[in-house]
Structures are given as C-alpha cells and as structure tokens.
C-alpha cells in the first residue's frame, strides 16, 4: 500500500464503542443502498477494445528496458517546484521511461475545471513538457470501495487533471476480485484521454489478473529495502514481458553500490519498472532520495547495454564464532483482546535486526496464551542461525496487528536466551517492558506484514466484510474466525495507532 488517507480522530469513550460501531455500520449501509440503487448510477459502462499492455505509451519500445514508476507525493509548491523540476530535467537528459503518480489529496480531492490547484497545474505542465507520463492516485480499499465511488474519482482526474491514466492503490490481488478490477480497468480505458492503468497490490497476484484486462503495470513488490534481495516473484512472471511489473522499495541505505545491487535484482527478475528511496515510513514517497541522479544514471547504463555483469550483492563481513550456530529465543508479548488461545505460526512475523539496521533473520513462530492478553512463544521458542554475537533489535508483528520493536536484545551464537522471565540481556524484550501497553501488539490492521497503521482504510474493509459484501476475513482481527462486533470494538479502540 502506497499511501493511506489522513488522520480521523474518534472522540468516543470506551463504553460507547460497540454502540457507535453499530450505528456507523447501519448509516453506511443505508447510504450505500440509496446510492447504488439510484437511477443516476445505473448508466451503462462504456467499453472499447483495448490492448492489455501498451509500452509505446511510455516510450518503452523494448521489453528489456527499465523505467521508473515514481510515487510523486511531494506537494509542488513553487513555480517550478525544485523536486518536480529535477525529475523533468532527468527525463530530458537521460530519456528513461518515467511514470509519475500524482496524488493531490489521497486522490483527486474536490476539483473544479475553472479553478484547479495552480501549483499542480503549473508543475504538471513542467513534467508534461519533459515527456513524463502522469497517472492519478485512487485508493480502492482492497476491493471494498464501491465501484461508483472509485469511478467518481476517475472522473475527477479526467475533468480536472491532464493525466494519462489511473494508479489504483490498495488493490486486492485475489482472483475473487477479478471482476471488480476488470470493471474499473474498462472504465478507465473508456475515457478518451486515458491510456494507462497501474495497480498496486504490493505483492504477488493471482495469474488470472495477467490473463484478463485488469492492468498495464502492476506493483508486485512494495516493501522495505532490507527485504528486497531475498524476494523472488511468482514463477509465472517469467512467462510475461517485464513491462507489466514494477517494484517500489523504501527505507534503503544511501550507499550507491547497494542501490545498484537493488536495481540489478529488479532487472534480473524481470521487472520493467523500479524506484528506490531512502525515505521512510509512514510516508516514504514525499521526497526524492539524495542518490536520485545515481539511480537514474545506472538505469540508463543498463538500458544502453553498457554493463552486462550484474553488480554483486554487498555481503557484510562477519566473524563467525566456532561451534554450534543455532540460537534460540523465547519471549512474551501483550496482545490485548486476542480471541484465540494460539496465534498460528503463519500469522506471526519476527525480524532480527543488527545495530547497522540490516535484517539478519526473518521467521515466524506460533504464540500461545499464558494469561489475559499475554502470549508467549510456543514450545522451546524461535530457533535460527546467527552469524555473530551482538546486540540486536527484535521486531514482532501479526497479520492483524501493528508491529513493535524491542531493542537492546543481546544474542550470542549457539546460545539460548529466555526472555519470558526478567533478564537484563533481553533489553526491551524482558516482560516488564514487552508487556507494557506502549509495547503491545494492538489489533486492527489489515495489511498483513506491511503498512503498520490502523486507519480509515482498515475501517473501509471492515465495513464491507461486516455487511457481507465480500467473503474475505481480513478484519477478523482477534482470529476467532468471525468478523463481528468484537472486531468493530477492537478497531474503534485502536483507531489511528501506528506501529514502530
């Protein structure tokens, strides 16, 4: 997920959460029924024959070329804005395919053809003159947003912004949502001035999306830089031209050789578009990286065929302690309002991060209930190979919770660290710290292991699942196998909470 809408504050007390949730659901359901049954919203969808992909739109005549898919969430203050001008200058000089995603207000906002935002109008013309292709941001709530509401935002872009297509964010890549996205794709293509549909599931999607008209470019990886070199796309990717696929990588180092290795990984795994930034969460797309010019120059070199040998991936130098290397870690965490006695292994993610910020291990382990809202690692704990002893940070996240970081954990190769009891070597992971409310894994997030913020996008999905519009259970936050009032209550209590 690229960007979520801004803050919405709830001013309700704890005892009224349940009643508030019920009232909100009823109101939304009534409005939805009125809207969807209005005669003015029953118009036939205009259709026309389209190509599944049209690289020529972007000047990409060879499937081996790399381009940039750039989330341009920098407000264009100034005429021209320095960052927007830098992008335009790059396009003029390097002649690399650049698709920029413009996002005036987490979507088009309320625009007027007679009075559009002059900063956007002027700076978009700067990019247009340089040959940059622009698409407009529209969130789809993972398929929960009413298609009529999505189409209204598409119309706003068509009427007020001279873009060449639409970027759909928060895309559900499950095959059950195929028809939803086919309808939106056809609606975009029905606009005479729109040529391009980009979707962002942020992860691998069902292959049926490639066999049907649903997109021209798909972002199948959006995540931290530390996870990128271990990422492998679905095997079917090799059967399709690389112009269909993009990656968005954030929170990177600024070391140029590492950036080059990330670009090589994209090229070697058949990605047609890439963008890497050192910007960080919660919005890693609101600035250009200091190595922007280096990133562009290296892509140009690859496209010109100057380099044929991929840059080797930097390998950190470590001193390996002789003897057994399996390290075991046990710990407790607080998970208020969890509804199951055991959190399955596939619902839990654990990262071990060294002092330089490099992730040395990613794994999972089941958690079992020990007390009210208290869970511990199952059996003997988490076992993993550790190259060097030292002080580490342990990050824990559930698919339905925000994640928490626990610092100053001293791990030794081949040893056992039990953090279910008070131990100074456990740092923030000792129970007196890990079970504090500020370190609990608060439930209410629907973004599996990615976004780490409970907000209105999660509420949108909860509404659709609670009302039975979709059959998914992303908002079964407490894992009791039911999307019900308890999940509504959890989301109301934890709304707008962010993880570490």
Structure confidence by residue, pLDDT tens digits, 185-196: 999 999 988 989
Q: Residues 443, 436: contact at Cβ < 8 Å?
A: no
Give the pLDDT band (50/70/90) at residue 474. confident
Residue pointed to by tokens 């342990």: 394
Q: What is the mean pLDDT of residues 112-126?
A: 79
Tell me the pLDDT of the chain averaged across its residues: 81
DSSP assignment of 293-305: HHHHHHHHHHHTT
Give the pLDDT band (50/70/90) at residue 289. very high
Q: How far is CA 62 from CA 67, 85, 133, 241, 303, in A?
A: 11, 27, 17, 9, 9
pLDDT at 97: 87
Give the dihedral sign, CA 342/344/349/350: positive
pLDDT at 355: 87
Cis preceding linkage at 80, omega within 30: yes
Cα–Cα distance, 126 to 119 (Å, whole number): 11
- The candidate with the shortest Cα–Cα distance to 174, out of 230, 223, 214, 224, is 214
Q: pTM of the predicted model, to two decimals?
A: 0.55
Question: What one-character DSSP code corresponds to residue 51?
Answer: -
With both helix axes pointing from N to C terminus, report the angle between 485-494 and 456-466 in degrees, rounded to the nearest 10.
170
Q: What is the mean pLDDT of residues 359-388?
A: 89
- The candidate with the shortest Cα–Cα distance to 168, out of 271, 454, 160, 186, is 186
| Length of the chain measured in residues | 500
Q: Lowest mean pLDDT of 111-115, 270-274, 344-348, 447-451, name the range.
A: 111-115
Q: What is the mean pLDDT of residues 426-444?
A: 89
Q: Which pair of structure tokens corresponds to residue 500?
A: 């570490």
pLDDT at 387: 83
| Three-class HEC string of 436-496 | CHHHCCCECCCCCCCCCECCHHHHHHHHHHHCCCCCCCCCCCCCCCCCCHHHHHHHHHHCC
Which has more pLDDT, 470 or 236?
236
Give the pLDDT band (50/70/90) at residue 451. low
Q: What is the mean pLDDT of residues 142-147?
A: 93
Q: Using CB atoms within 10 A of its CB, is residue 378 exposed (0-12), middle (13-18) or buried (19+)?
A: middle
User: At 353, phi and psi to the nearest 5?
Assistant: -120, 130
Give the pLDDT band (50/70/90) at residue 115. low
Which has more pLDDT, 111 or 392?
392
Question: What one-character DSSP code corresponds to residue 183?
Answer: H
Angle in degrees, CA 449, 317, 266, rounded to 5:
45
Which has more pLDDT, 397 or 26?
397
3-state DSSP assignment of residue 67: strand
Give the pLDDT band (50/70/90) at residue 406. very high
Q: What is the mean pLDDT of residues 178-184?
A: 96
Q: Lowest mean pLDDT of 28-37, 100-109, 199-208, 376-385, name the range.
A: 28-37
pLDDT at 2: 57
Cα–Cα distance, 283 to 2 (Å, whole number): 8
Which has more pLDDT, 425 or 311?
425
Which has more pLDDT, 485 or 315?
485
Cα–Cα distance, 377 to 381 (Å, whole number): 5
Give the pLDDT band (50/70/90) at residue 450. low
How many of the other CB atoms lie within 10 Å of CB of 293? 15
Give the pLDDT band (50/70/90) at residue 1. low
Residue pointed to by tokens 């130098």: 317
pLDDT at 261: 94
pLDDT at 62: 38
Give the pLDDT band (50/70/90) at residue 232. confident
Give the pLDDT band (50/70/90) at residue 303. confident
Question: What one-character DSSP code corresponds to residue 14?
Answer: G
φ/ψ region of 283 (left if φ > 0, alpha if ψ in -120 to 50, else beta) reads beta
Give the pLDDT band (50/70/90) at residue 118. confident
pLDDT at 53: 42
Checking if the pLDDT of 313 tops 90, the result is no
Q: Buried b / exposed e across 246-281, counting CB within 10 Å, b at 16+? A: bbbbbbbbeeeebbbbbbbbbbebbbbbbbbbbbee
pLDDT at 162: 86
Give the pLDDT band (50/70/90) at residue 447. low
pLDDT at 20: 54
Give the pLDDT band (50/70/90) at residue 369. very high
pLDDT at 203: 92
pLDDT at 172: 93
R_g over Cα of the chain: 24
pLDDT at 12: 40
How many of the other CB atoms lie within 10 Å of CB of 10? 12
Checking if the pLDDT of 491 tops 50, the result is yes
Beta strand 245-250 pairing with 217-224: parallel
């Amino acid at each position: 997920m690229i960007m979520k809408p801004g803050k919405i504050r709830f001013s309700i007390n704890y005892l009224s959460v349940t009643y508030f949730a019920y009232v909100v659901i009823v109101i939304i359901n009534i409005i939805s029924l009125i809207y969807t049954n209005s005669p003015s919203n029953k118009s036939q969808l205009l259709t026309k024959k389209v190509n599944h992909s049209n690289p020529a739109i972007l000047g990409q005549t060879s499937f081996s070329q790399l381009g940039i898919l750039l989330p341009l969430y920098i407000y264009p203050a100034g005429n021209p804005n320095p960052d927007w001008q830098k992008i335009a200058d790059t396009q003029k000089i390097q002649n690399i395919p650049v698709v920029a995603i413009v996002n005036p207000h987490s979507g088009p906002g309320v625009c007027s053809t007679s009075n559009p935002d002059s900063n956007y109008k002027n700076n978009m013309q700067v990019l247009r003159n340089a040959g940059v292709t622009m698409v407009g941001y529209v969130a789809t709530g993972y398929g929960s947003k009413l298609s009529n509401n999505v189409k209204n935002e598409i119309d706003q872009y068509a009427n007020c912004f001279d873009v060449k297509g639409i970027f759909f964010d928060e895309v559900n890549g499950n095959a059950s949502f195929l028809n939803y996205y086919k309808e939106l794709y056809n609606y975009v293509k029905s606009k005479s001035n729109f040529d391009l549909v980009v979707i962002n599931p942020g992860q691998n999607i069902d292959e049926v999306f490639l066999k049907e008209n649903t997109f021209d470019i798909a972002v199948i990886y959006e995540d931290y830089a530390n996870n990128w070199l271990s990422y492998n796309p679905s095997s079917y990717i090799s059967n399709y031209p690389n112009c269909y696929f993009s990656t968005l990588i954030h929170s990177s180092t600024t070391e140029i050789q590492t950036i080059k290795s990330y670009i090589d990984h994209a090229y070697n795994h058949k990605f047609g578009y890439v963008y890497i930034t050192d910007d960080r969460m919660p919005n890693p797309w609101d600035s250009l990286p200091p190595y922007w010019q280096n990133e562009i120059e290296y892509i140009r070199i690859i496209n010109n065929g100057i380099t044929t040998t991929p840059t080797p991936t930097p390998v950190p130098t470590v001193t390996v302690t002789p003897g057994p290397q399996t390290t075991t870690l046990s710990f407790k965490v607080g998970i208020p309002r969890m509804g199951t006695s055991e959190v399955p292994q596939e619902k839990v993610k654990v990262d071990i991060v060294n002092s330089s910020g490099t992730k040395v291990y990613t794994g999972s382990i089941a958690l079992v209930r020990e007390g009210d809202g208290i869970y511990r690692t199952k059996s003997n704990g988490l076992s993993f190979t550790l190259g060097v002893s030292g002080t580490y940070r342990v990050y824990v996240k559930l698919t339905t919770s925000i994640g928490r970081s626990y610092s100053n954990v001293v791990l030794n190769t081949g040893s056992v660290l039990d953090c279910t009891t008070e131990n100074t070597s456990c740092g923030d992971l000792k129970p007196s710290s890990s079970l504090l409310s500020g370190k609990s894994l608060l439930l209410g997030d629907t973004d599996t292991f990615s976004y780490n913020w409970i907000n209105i996008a999660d509420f949108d999905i909860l509404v659709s699942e609670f009302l039975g519009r979709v059959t998914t259970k992303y908002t079964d936050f407490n894992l009791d196998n039911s999307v019900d009032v308890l999940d509504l209550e959890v989301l109301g209590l934890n709304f707008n909470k962010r993880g570490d």
